[in-house]
Amino acid sequence: MRTECLPADREGITKAADILAEGGLVAFPTETVYGLGANALSVEAVRRIFEAKGRPADNPLIVHVTDKEAASACGEWNGLADLLADAFWPGPLTLIVKRKAVIPAEVSAGLETVALRSPSHPSARELLRVCGMPIAAPSANRSGRPSPTTARHVLDDLDGLIPLVLDGGSCDVGLESTVADVTGEVPLILRPGAVTLEMIAMVAGECRISDSVMRELKKDEAAPSPGMRHRHYAPRAQLTLVKGSPEKVCELIRQLAEKSEKTWVLAPEDRVKYYRGLNTHSLGGDAKETAHRLFHLLRQADEERVEHILSETLTSDGLGLAVMNRLARAANFHILDADGKASQND
Ligand code: AMP
Ligand code: MG
């Protein structure tokens, strides 16, 4: 199959809507990462997503909708969903509610719930408006690879496997949406993102976070959010995170970097200067910048055939939690403590 890449303008969006109406797949930009969309009401269309991505069938998809009204046609809407949608939609927040029968079980990987999001990206919104149907769309990468934040990243993974990519430039946030289960009385974050725990707690009065967010699931443990069972966001290079006091972190990273030639060091902007002489890349000046460039950096490391990436850690508050969640998963929870020299998963 030839993959066309068109600007996300009126012509591109019309073509995309036609493909979706025929049950085909289209990659399109959102404010978080690029999505791989299909008609959420069609089992055949949704199956194509799993095939193109090589996605395990037990990993559910997020259904994209224009607004609350469209969302309540797909899932059992409730007061908490309403409150959070009013505060954060359109935007990078996915809400889990009970699934209605119009949404095929395949979309939710057999779960009785459905994940719903109303994106804010103008091209995504226009596509939803023109095609007039809910669009199931996971990230537009091959399963296990870092999520795509540019049309080029999508082509690197899916060229020849899908008919169309809409190019809307680089994604604003750069990390996938926050996923919050709102089937209970208190919102429960299953995946951290740009709508933070603190922001949700401000609106809902309380917000919990699943304890599986920052640790590896045990072999037979049930995953509250099935995507967490799978290795995610991973570059081909071996990523190691180093935490601890700044001087010790620097010392240990320098020691480890000397052992191999094809090594990259990742550090916050103001710490890059401590790694002179090494192949060092900046994670940016704050968590927002890190989120925006993280997946791009991981993909660039693969292109340059880097073998090891050694990264400093960031503070896990606000958006920092989402960044650390993706870094820890990309590292397969390989985290060294420079102070204690004890390690997880060694
Ligand atoms: P992606 O579309 O690649 O961002 O992945 C969507 C993620 O949302 C999945 O990997 C799940 O972790 C989560 N998700 C989607 N639907 C549900 C659901 N019904 N219940 C819990 N988590 C879900
Ligand atoms: Mg994904």
Distance 100 CA to ligand 2 centre (A): 23
Distance 60 CA to ligand 2 centre (A): 10
Write the class of the CATH domain 4-214.
alpha beta
Q: Whose CA is nearest to atom 7 of ligand 1?
A: 227
Ligand nearest to the CA of 183: 1
CA distance 251 to 145: 30
Asked if the model's pLDDT at residue 341 lies above 80, the reply is no
Pocket of ligand 1, beta carbon within 6 A: 59-62, 96, 108, 111, 113-115, 138-139, 176, 179, 190-191, 225-228
CA distance 195 to 294: 18
State the pLDDT confidence band at 232, using cuts at 50, 70 and 90: low
Q: Whose CA is nearest to atom 11 of ligand 1?
A: 227
Q: What is the mean pLDDT of residues 129-140?
A: 98
Q: What is the mean pLDDT of residues 298-319?
A: 95
Q: What is the mean pLDDT of residues 25-38?
A: 98
- Contact between 125 and 35 under an 8 Å Cβ cutoff? The reply is no
pLDDT tens-digit readout, 233-277? 778 899 999 999 999 999 999 999 988 789 999 999 999 999 999
pLDDT tens-digit readout, 75-108? 999 999 999 999 999 999 999 999 999 999 999 9
* Residue with token string 């927002």: 288
Asked if the model's pLDDT at residue 172 lies above 60, the reply is yes
- Rg (C-alpha) for the chain, rounded Å, is 20
Asked if the model's pLDDT at residue 221 lies above 90, the reply is no
- Contact between 311 and 266 under an 8 Å Cβ cutoff? The reply is yes
Q: Whose CA is nearest to atom 22 of ligand 1?
A: 225
Q: Pick from 93, 60, 46, 50: which is nearest to 227 by CA?
A: 60
Return the pLDDT at 261.
81
Ligand nearest to the CA of 119: 1
Return the pLDDT at 183.
98
CATH of domain 238-344: 3.40.50.11030
Q: Pick from 226, 274, 236, 233: which is nearest to 253 by CA?
A: 274
CA distance 176 to 59: 15
List the chain domain ranges: 4-214, 238-344
- Contact between 173 and 291 under an 8 Å Cβ cutoff? The reply is yes
Q: pLDDT > 70: what percent of the chain?
A: 95
